[in-house]
Structure 1
Amino acid sequence: MPDVQHDRIRITGIAATGHHGVFDHERRDGQRFVADVVLHVDTRSAAAADRLDLTVDYGTVTSRVAAVLSGAPADLVETVAERIAAVVLDDDRVHAVDVVLHKPQAPIPVPFDDVTVEIHRDRARPPAVAAPAGGRHAGAAATEQDPQADVAEPSGVAGQTAVHDRLDEPPAEPVDVVLALGSNLGPSQDLLRRAVHELCEVDGLDVVAVSPLVRTAAVGGPEQPDYLNAVVLGRTTLAPRALLRACQGVEASLGRERLERWGPRTVDVDVVVHGTTLAVTDDLELPHPRAHERAFVLEPWAQVAPDAVLPGLGGGPVRLLAETAPDRGGIRWMALDWWRTPGEA
């Protein structure tokens, strides 16, 4: 039987500094690695419906490949290539993947242009290693009603392993942060107001702006009420993971329970951006991998920061991203100073 010919999504030139290699100086100093990937997929359903959620988000794929390049050191580039293949194939919609991994600064004592390792992996001949932490099924910080991810439980939950990496390191100086708020259960406007006030009390976080309130339809998940959404801009000296835990603490204090995946909730407080941090881990992905396509984040953000730019791959000027977001037609503006306590100046 002839091989099935799939459509292909090709991403070239994904670059990051990694610490892979067998020599001490490679582990200590790091060097540039570049990856090219080809995803073998079936694009017909997505093309027919013109729906982003029916195809592979190449912005997310690119971020995760870059995270492998800059992630846990390996002695061999062959191992890194297998990790990349495993991350890509963690999405069931990808039938096969081609990986070309470049090590242009390899410690070779004669002139050369490049060193590459090229592999092809598919469901019949899977990668030799498992996907690193932060694959598609990891509990990345999810934006409100996003059907593609759910927020990880706060640290300290029974059975959860503590993670210690660069996301536990506070910035050398305050950085800008973007938090996305959402609620569709209970007195949503009051709950979101209380969330803003609790965020103002978090040590190491200065709230500098709060967006207008919007009403949006739930994106995916079970049938449920519309959401109220807003964005909070701030400055923080907290490490990314410390900020995540502070946000989860606000959620818990306002009765957030995770009873149904993608189900209705009293309140979400999600970390969308932490400075220029680019990372994929079990409990936090920065920037949020779907922020660039969520109007319920982009529209309020653009209202309070018209010149804002979403960092990372798939990012760009927030105002322009909002204009092309798939759910932009469902935004309804509700109120401006909704978060202030009645009678507050």
Structure 2
Amino acid sequence: MDKIKIQNLEIFANHGVFPEENVLGQKFLVSATLFTDTRKAGKTDELTSSIHYGEVSQFIDHFMKNHTFQLIERVAETLAEALLLQTPALEKIQLEIKKPWAPVGLPLDTVSVEIERGWHTACIALGSNMGDKEQYLKGAISALDQIRGCHVTKVSSFLTTAPYGVTEQDDFLNGALLLRTLLTPEELLDELHRIEQEAGRERIIHWGPRTLDLDIIFYDDLIYGDDDLCIPHVEMHKRDFVLRPLHEIAPYWHHPVLGKTVHEMLEDLAVI
């Protein structure tokens, strides 16, 4: 991806652990690498087709001067998020905040924190087989879209499917959505659990009845696993009720482990 760089923007602001740092202020140097597609701007010579680095610099200056934090880690995190939320076409940012006057009592050039943050695309599977199933799914979609740093970009139609695992229960209503998000997988999982709980989800019987079931199927091309989360979802390639709605909105998404598209995985189940 193309890059626009801002190097060592000098800002006098009030951040630090010590009270005098918050009151008297000190110098900070901010460097930002903005990841975007500059192709159209390069072809047309139109500023509106690119990211206006002057406006970004002004935003950084205003943000740092109008907030006060103890840690430069906090400054970097909140500033990166703010830039990603308010800057069209900004896909990722590398941000370094230097503190040349750090009060450590020893000679040094600078202390700095450098982070990288960006937008991700996650696929979420939705299911319900209790109460007003359609309303539970629509409520989950709305709740996800209202989370800061999350935008629902595509939603499949809903389909009725037979229960999986424990078969003596009501049919499910299933769907899938694509989510553009700044959240990490773990943060996203926490939000999904929160939404499930607010919908009255009770985890009593494995594969049992539930008001709402939300699962992370894909997160970019990430391969990840721990005790609480496995990405891609470990059973997704075996489940037509996941693959069928996903096929509507992302048929050519490649499974990073199996190397197959959603379309190919669905063909393997012979249910298209």
Name the residue aligned to 1:322. Answer: 266
Gap change, CA 1:322 and 1:300, over 3 Å in 2: same
Letter in 2 for 1:233: L
* Deviation at residue 295 of structure 1 after TM alignment: 1.1
Post-superposition offset of 1:305: 2.1
Of 247, 252, 255, which aligns to 1:307? 252
* Alignment partner of 1:263 out of 208, 219, 229: 208
| Alpha-carbon separation, structure 2, partners of 1:171 and 1:217 | 43
1:288 aligns with 2:218: no
State how far apart, in whole Å, the 2-side matches of 1:222 and 1:209 are.
30
Q: 1:171 to 1:232 in 2, by over 3 A?
A: farther
5+ long unaligned stretches in structure 2: 1-114
Q: Give the structure with the larger strand fraction.
A: 2
Cα offset for 1:325? 2.3
Q: Deviations over 1:95-149 (max 9, x none)?
A: xxxxxxxxxxxxxxxxxxxxxxxxxxxxxxxxxxxxxxxxxxxxxxxxxxxxxxx
Q: Alpha-carbon deviation of 1:233?
A: 0.3
**How many residue pairs were aligned?**
158
Q: Which structure has the larger Rg?
A: 2
- Pick 1 or 2: higher relative contact order, CA cutoff 8 A, min separation 6: 1
User: Per the alignment, in what secondary structure is the counterpart of residue 271 of structure 1?
Assistant: strand
Runs of 4+ in 1 over 4 A off after TM superposition: none
Instruction: Tell me, in whole angstroms, the C-alpha distance in 2 between the residues paired with 1:221 and 1:193.
Output: 25
Separation of aligned partners in 1, 2:234 and 2:242: 12
2:157 maps to 1:207: no
Matched residue of 2:117: which SS?
A: coil
Q: CA deviation at 1:193?
A: 0.8
The residue identity in structure 1 corresponding to 2:137 is L
Using structure 1 for the length normalisation, give the TM-score: 0.44
Alignment counterpart, residue 238 of structure 1, candidates 183, 196, 207: 183
Residue 182 of structure 1 pairs with residue 105 of structure 2 = no
Query: By how many angstroms is 1:189 displaced?
Result: 0.7
Structure with the largest fraction of helix: 2
Percent pairwise identity: 36
Q: What SS does structure 2 have at the residue aligned with 1:316? A: coil
Partner secondary structure for residue 118 of structure 2: coil
CA offset digits 1:12-67 (Å, max 9, x no partner): xxxxxxxxxxxxxxxxxxxxxxxxxxxxxxxxxxxxxxxxxxxxxxxxxxxxxxxx
Q: CA RMSD in A?
A: 1.7
- One-letter amino acid matched to 1:226: D
Once the two structures are TM-superposed, the CA of residue 222 in structure 1 deviates from its matched residue by 4.7
Contact 1:176 1:274 in 2 (8 A): yes
* Cα-to-partner distance string for 1:207-255 (whole Å, 9 max, x where unaligned): 1000011111111125111110000101111111000001111101111
Q: Say which SS state the counterpart of residue 201 (structure 2) adopts.
A: coil
Q: CA deviation at 1:205?
A: 1.3
Aligned equivalent of 2:162: 217
1:310 counterpart SS class: coil
| Alpha carbons 2:164, 2:207 under 8 Å: kept | no
After TM superposition, list the pairs within 5 Å mapping 1:66-215 onto structure 2.
172-215=117-160
What are the ranges of 5 or more consecutive residues in structure 1 without an aligned counterpart?
A: 1-169, 330-345
Confirm or deny: 8 A CA contact 1:278 1:286 kept in the other structure.
Answer: yes
